[in-house]
Amino acid sequence: MILLPCAYLPSVRYFAELVRGGCVVDLGEHFIKRSERNRACILAADGPMALTAHAVRADRPRSPMRDMRLDYSKRWQHQHWGALVAAYKASPYFDFYAPELEPFYRRPFGFLADYNLQLLETLCSLARVAMPAVSETYVAAGTGDLDLRPKNAQDPAWCAEPYVQVFADRQPFAPGLSFIDLLFAEGPDSLSVLRRSLSAG
């Protein structure tokens, strides 16, 4: 079993594990600030950029992920969509996928977990990747399980097979980005890139 956090615009690594199968998204774990649960990394013109979905009382310790509410006191949705448009408008598949994703930046959602899961479901549908199982209660890792829930779910020893990113003419390949970077760059071939990454790992 592969244990995953409920992530905002999950990473390429996250999606590769979804392709591998046997994944469970844990809503019972504690929310961790500055992690994949509410932070994603995209590629902007001047390099990687972090996008943070604001949560109410994000610094409160030991709050279950499923109970975290979104905070709209700052216009983070508007800022995120502006950043996505600026970063990916010139990418091959932005115009194809943007209508499916833009609604997530136009209307409010109550809970971070609901927002993340609905966005994940949309991304899985677009990429033709099976949606993982979801657990409302904490799942203890057993022998042989791969637990990707720690604070930093990124594994520096793993990165996707390189693909042509939107600023490839001026920047080296940036690993560890949100899957949205791969989706906008490769479109329907994203799944093939994920499979090649797994076979090379």
What is the C-alpha end-to-end distance of the chain, expressed in Å? 18
Q: Which residues contact 10 (CB under 8 A, 6 or more apart)?
A: 4, 36, 40, 120, 123, 178, 179
Mean pLDDT estimate for the chain:
91
Give the pLDDT confidence of 133-158 residue by residue, as tens digits. Answer: 999 998 888 888 888 887 645 554 56
- What per-residue confidence (pLDDT) applies to 151? 61
Rounded distance between C-alpha atoms, residue 194 and residue 19, angstroms: 7
Per-domain boundaries in the chain: 2-200
What is the percent of the chain with per-residue pLDDT over 90, rounded to a whole number? 73
Q: Higher model confidence: residue 90 or residue 159? A: 90
- What per-residue confidence (pLDDT) applies to 100? 97
Give the pLDDT confidence of 27-63 residue by residue, as tens digits. Answer: 999 998 889 999 999 999 999 999 999 999 867 778 8
Give the pLDDT confidence of 67-79 residue by residue, as tens digits. Answer: 999 999 999 999 9
The answer to whether the CB of 180 falls within 8 A of the CB of 42 is: yes
Rounded distance between C-alpha atoms, residue 93 and residue 120, angstroms: 18
- What per-residue confidence (pLDDT) applies to 199? 75
